[in-house]
Structures are given as structure tokens and as C-alpha cells.
Amino acid sequence: LMLLPVFLVPLTRVWGVAALVVGVWAVACAGALRVPYEGRIGAGGIADERGVYVRQNAAPHPLHHDFAGQPGNRAYGALVREAARSGAPTLLLAQTPVAGGAPGVTGVYNTLGFSGSVVPLSGAALDPIGLAYPLAAHSEGIVNGRVGHDKRLPDEWIVAERGAADVPEGLDPERVDAARRALRCGPLAELRAATRAPLTMGRFWRNLTGAMERTSFRFPNDPVRAERQLCGR
């Protein structure tokens, strides 16, 4: 605690009063000013995070995540471990495993932190809401969606981009093909190169000079519409 930056602030009357005010406010927030809902996400999109952890772990004072109250997370974790033990390339679309096109396990799950903790380091943890997955992050947002979670990349894009051996049941092969073609066109192809190509000096320079344009780039969630827009078809 002695390394906290606050200990580098000169101890003066002004700073002392400010620290006292902040301390009183912190106690008030912790003791009385709580969200009017527990264990869920409110109407404004803000979660009661501790309440969510309590509910997910079925424990009033959770110290470790065992997800006793969240069977979906437990099932996903079990599938990831099973796929890792098998050694076969696997793409996990939430709880639907399919033959993958890349070595190791590629897990696709909304809860990125949890997914990243169970997917092996030799694999990849992707989130379809785009917190860390560049392709999802540059897809069109959901109107009036939850702040920071207002994306939902359709599975057809993930199957196309990750090169799954077969189109999983329930997905439209034509939409997957359209996504594959769109990924090779214009700014979407450039986005993939910027995030996945070897970082040569030329690639570094293009990443630097194209950062502004690339940051604002968005493509339609519908692969067919995206192909028309990006490839001119």
C-alpha cells in the first residue's frame, strides 16, 4: 500500500480536507448508495457485478469462481477441456463444437474473461460482442444495445473467418460463402491484415497511417449485404 501514488501527494490542509471528503463519500457509497437491483443488469445496462458473482456461484461470499449457479458456463468449460484433451482442431460456437480449421481450440463465448480463463494459451478465445475480437468490434452495433456490449457477430462470420471444415447445422451455407468473399474485399480485408498479418515494417507503417480510417470502419452484420457493399456484387 505504501507504493500507492497518493503517498506522493504533499500533506497539506487542502489535500487533507479533500482526502476526508473522499473518505466520507466512499463510506456513504459502500453503505447506503447501492443500485436498486441485485444480481442482474439494470435498465440502464449497468450490472450489479458483485450480485452477479453471488448468483453465478450460488454463494453469498464468493472467493473463487466455481459457477455452481451458472450451468451454462460449467458446460462450456467442460467442452473446452474435452476438446483440448482430444488434440483435434475444434471451433466451439458457445456449446456447439465443430471441426476447426486452425490448430487447437477456438472458443466463442459472450463472457470473454471466463472463456479466456479456460481456453488453452495455444488456442483462441473470441467474443462475438467485440470487446477483444477485432472482426466483431467492427461490425454494426445493435440499436439501443447495452453500452459496450452492443455488438453480436453472427456465427456465419466466425465460421468463415476461422475456416471451419464444415458448415455447422443450423447455419446458412450461402451466408457463410458470402462472408468468406466479403472477408477478402476492401477495408474488411485490410482490417484482417492489420490484426493478423506478420508485423513487418511495412505492415507497422500501414497500421499507423491507416489507424484513423480503420477505427471508424463498420460493416453490416448480414454477410450477403456486406458482400454487396464491400465487394460491389
Closest CA to 89 of 157, 158, 161, 164: 164
User: Which burial class, exposed, middle or buried, applies to 143 when counting CB atoms under 10 A from its CB (0-12, 13-18, 19+)?
Assistant: exposed
Other beta carbons within 10 angstroms of residue 159's beta carbon come to: 26
Position with higher pLDDT, 44 vs 79:
79
Asked if 122 and 104 count as a contact pair (C-beta separation under 8 A), the reply is yes
Q: Is the pLDDT of residue 232 over 90?
A: no
Of 128, 175, 183, 124, nearest in space to 150 by CA: 128
Q: Give the H/E segment covering residue 152.
A: none
Strand partners, 96: 93
* Mean predicted lDDT score pLDDT of the chain: 90
More confident residue, 158 or 63: 158
Burial 3-39 (b: 16+ CB within 10 A, else e): eeeeeeeeeeeeeeeeeeeeeeeeeeeeeeeeeeeee
Backbone angles phi, psi at 69, to 5 degrees: -100, 10
Checking if the pLDDT of 95 tops 60, the result is yes
Tens-place pLDDT, residues 164-197 = 878 888 899 999 999 999 999 999 999 999 999 9
- Interaxial angle between packed helices 223-231 and 186-196, expressed in degrees from 0 to 180 and rounded to the nearest 10: 100
Backbone angles phi, psi at 122, to 5 degrees: -80, -10
Say yes or no to pLDDT of 2 above 70.
no
Is residue 121 over pLDDT 60? yes
End-to-end CA separation in angstroms for the chain: 61
Q: How far apart are CA 218 and CA 99, in angstroms?
A: 29
> Measured between alpha carbons, how far is 123 from 87 in angstroms, rounded to an integer?
11
Whether the per-residue pLDDT at 108 is higher than 80: the answer is yes
pLDDT band at 127 (very low <50, low <70, confident <90, very high): very high
Which residue carries 479466456 as its cell?
A: 116
What is the C-alpha to C-alpha distance for residues 17 and 33, in angstroms, rounded to an integer?
A: 22
The three cell numbers of residue 35 are: 443500485
Cα–Cα distance for residue pair 121/112, rounded to 1 Å: 14
pLDDT band at 3 (very low <50, low <70, confident <90, very high): low
pLDDT in tens, 20-68: 998 899 999 888 888 888 888 888 888 888 888 888 888 888 888 778 7
